[in-house]
Structure 1
Amino acid sequence: MNNITSLLARAFFMSTPLILGALGEVIAERTGMMVTAVEGIFLIGAWGGFIGAYISGNLYLGFLLAMVCGLMVALLYALTTVYMNQHQIVMGTAISILVTGFCTFFYRVIFGIQTTPLKVEVLSTIQIPILSQIPFVGKILFSQNIITYLAYLLIPIILFVMNHTALGLTLRSCGENPEAVDTAGIDILKIRFAAVAVAGCLGGIAGAYYSLCNVGMYTSEIISGRGWIAFGICFLGNWNPVGALIFGTVFGVSEAIGVYVKSLGMSTMPSELFSALPYVLVIVLTVCRKDLRAPNKLGQNYVKEN
């Protein structure tokens, strides 16, 4: 029972950055913007978070810098796609490649070439009084770090805003019928720009989660495609915050299983098989999912008619 409890607690821990990234994608994609720079946003978040925390000695300043870094990359993406009408997939891929080189180069500029990795203390867990003492559930849900709690708090907030407010109606309309929104006198480009900016902030925090909560260090391979997993979770969850929670948790479980099995040192099966488990899962689930309800204008730039 203790092994199962630890495994599930680890699953919720590992699902946090995926859920954060997927929530950002939900917000942006409901307006019609596919933030295909998500991998780069995750990476620069991990980079900025570690540098901020290492230099300042404060993990929360690290998360703040990570959010700013993610925002800067998202603004670059939004500028080129929303206002310059460049292809969303091409620009997102190009920006992610640019960020990879940027992070590698400036990490070496700041710290030089290290023989041993630089490290920071990871973010500690917070035991919620009374709730953390509940058998089984307490250790899984109420013995996590503050970023995990904030991620799960965001889900009902975003769900309410999307489905029960005028702002949510405007966001959804920008992705479904932008011409009608434009006719109503609402600036679609500003709405889309702001949505991408929010996705960048959440993605930056998600990236920093890996360097400041998981391993306490930064490497150029720290993200390793997890930004794309968050991107896929948005699709699998049908662009819904609850769907992001469900599939984010599923992928958290798969990643936790991979870590757990590798820790057992099973020599009969290669460890790479379990490392690849989350990526295999996203392919299988995407192929099997048949009822995707994408926003009508997803991935299509809007050009205002004169």
Structure 2
Amino acid sequence: MIISLLKRALMMSTPLLFGSIAEVIAERSGMMVTAIEGIFLMGAWGGFVGTYLTGSAFIGILAAILSGLVAAAVYGVVCIYLKQHQVVTGTAINVLAAGICTYLQRVLFGVPTAPLKISPLPEIAIPLLSQIPVIGPVFFRQNLLTYVVYLLIPASYFLLFKTSFGLTIRSTGENPEAVDVAGINVNAVRFFTVLLAGVMGGIAGAFYSVGYLGMFTTNIIGGRGWIAFAICFLGNWNPKGAVAGTVVFGLTEAIAIYMQSVGGGSYFPNELFIAMPYLLTIVLTVSRRNFNVPAKLGVAYSKEN
């Protein structure tokens, strides 16, 4: 039971890691990507439709990336180049994404009497490593997207803290004037990080429709984009902190799913288990005292004459 719970916790952490690390990188540049919930949803829809129409999960994930990229590009253009408020714009895109996905789903498939299904990504057992007691079943019997996130964690830390481009990203969020003086286009750097968040957020959304459930509904994300957004804050804008926070949330969600599956609702309402990850978000946010907020987070940059 414990191995199964830990395995599910890691699986449920996968999309949150994609989303929270994407948010860390974007916010380090000064962009508060509040459209993350809508990007997740667009990715989930694009992934499902691409897989359902072609029968290929690979094409489905590409469609998810494209869908997330489009949503992120709209957000980036409006906030970076048109200088509009990041929170208001992100909220509008989240609402727009929900409407667009619902509309396009009905245009393509009508209102089916039974949910449309696809085959979710298969579990891949890594030879030898998957045979290690406890560690093997938990870490090395997962689907492809979970294995990708293993590489994403060190790669994101290396990018931000060990490369000159990572220094540029962090400087753009702290002192964009200095970056501009150095001859680097601040808005181009920020737009790049937003597009990267769109790619990673699209993959995160595809995890729910293509990698886990094998179906799409308009409430499939259920606020998990906002949880990834909160993990960025709670992780203090660092990939290491995002990993720690994501594991906690993934374990909480795995426990909630397990309790519902074994009939925990006979003792407590099922709604309590569903709400557990969100209650944890509130508790941790309130209990956190010190935040290393990027100095220009959420502030549009205009080049002085």
Residue 158 of structure 1 deviates from its aligned partner by 1.0
* Separation in 2, partners of 1:292, 1:150: 29
- Structure 1 spans left out of the alignment, 5+ residues: none
Residue 273 of structure 1 deviates from its aligned partner by 0.3
**How does 1:14-33 map onto structure 2 within 5 Å?**
14-33=12-31
1:61 matched to 2:78? The reply is no
Could you tell me how far 1:185 is from its partner in structure 2? Answer: 0.8
Distance 1:255 1:99 in 2: 25
Query: What is the match of residue 7 of structure 1?
Result: 5
- Cα distance in 1 between the residues matched to 2:244 and 2:227: 13
Measure the CA separation in 2 of the matches of 1:110 and 1:70. Answer: 19
Residue 272 of structure 2 is aligned to residue 273 of structure 1: yes
Structure 1 partner of 2:116:
118
Percent identical? 57
**Helix, strand or coil: the match of 2:169?**
helix
Match of 2:301 in 1: 302
User: C-alpha displacement at 1:40, in angstroms?
Assistant: 0.3
In structure 1, how many angstroms separate the alpha carbons of the residues matched to 2:194 and 2:93?
A: 14
TM-score w.r.t. length of structure 1: 0.99
Equivalent residue, structure 2, for 1:45: 43
Deviations 1:27-58 (A, max 9, x none): 10000000000000000100000000000001
Letter matched to residue 293 of structure 1: N
* Structure 1 residues 249-290: Cα deviation after superposition (integer angstroms, max 9, x where no partner): 110000000000000112121111000000000111011111
Q: How far off is 1:291 after superposition?
A: 1.7
- 1:293 corresponding residue in structure 2: 292
Greater shift in the superposed pair: 291-300 or 197-206:
291-300
Alignment of 1:142-291 (within 5 A): 142-266=140-264, 267-291=266-290
Question: Per-residue displacement from partner, 1:147-168 (whole Å, max 9, x unpaired)?
Answer: 0011121110110111111100
Q: For the residues of structure 2 that align with 1:271 and 1:196, how far apart are their CA atoms?
A: 37
Q: What's the secondary structure of 1:276's corresponding residue?
A: helix
What's the counterpart of residue 93 of structure 1? Answer: 91
Deviation for aligned residue 1:241: 0.9
Q: Which runs of 4+ in 1 moved over 4 A?
A: none
Task: Count residues with an aligned counterpart.
Answer: 304
Q: Counterpart in 1 of 2:138?
A: 140
Shift in Å at residue 243 of structure 1? 1.1
Distance (whole Å) between structure 2 residues aligned to residue 164 and residue 204 of structure 1 = 26
Report the secondary structure of 1:218's partner residue.
Answer: coil
Q: Tell me, which stretches of 5 or more residues in structure 2 are unaligned?
A: none
Shift of 1:245: 1.0
| Structure 1 residue 242 displacement after superposition | 1.1
Rounded to whole Å, the distance in 1 between the matches of 2:279 and 2:299 is 28
SS in structure 1 of the partner of residue 282 of structure 2: helix
TM-score by length of 2: 0.99
Q: 1: distance between equivalents of 2:277 and 2:172?
A: 32
The CA deviation string for residues 75-134 of structure 1, in whole angstroms up to 9 with x for no partner, is: 000000000000000000001101110000000000011110000011011111111100
Return the offset for 1:8.
Answer: 0.3
Question: In the aligned structure 2, how far is the partner of 1:214 from the partner of 1:155?
Answer: 21
Letter in structure 2 aligned against 1:300:
V
Say which SS state the counterpart of residue 234 (structure 1) adopts: helix
Measured on the aligned residues, the alpha-carbon RMSD in Å equals 0.6
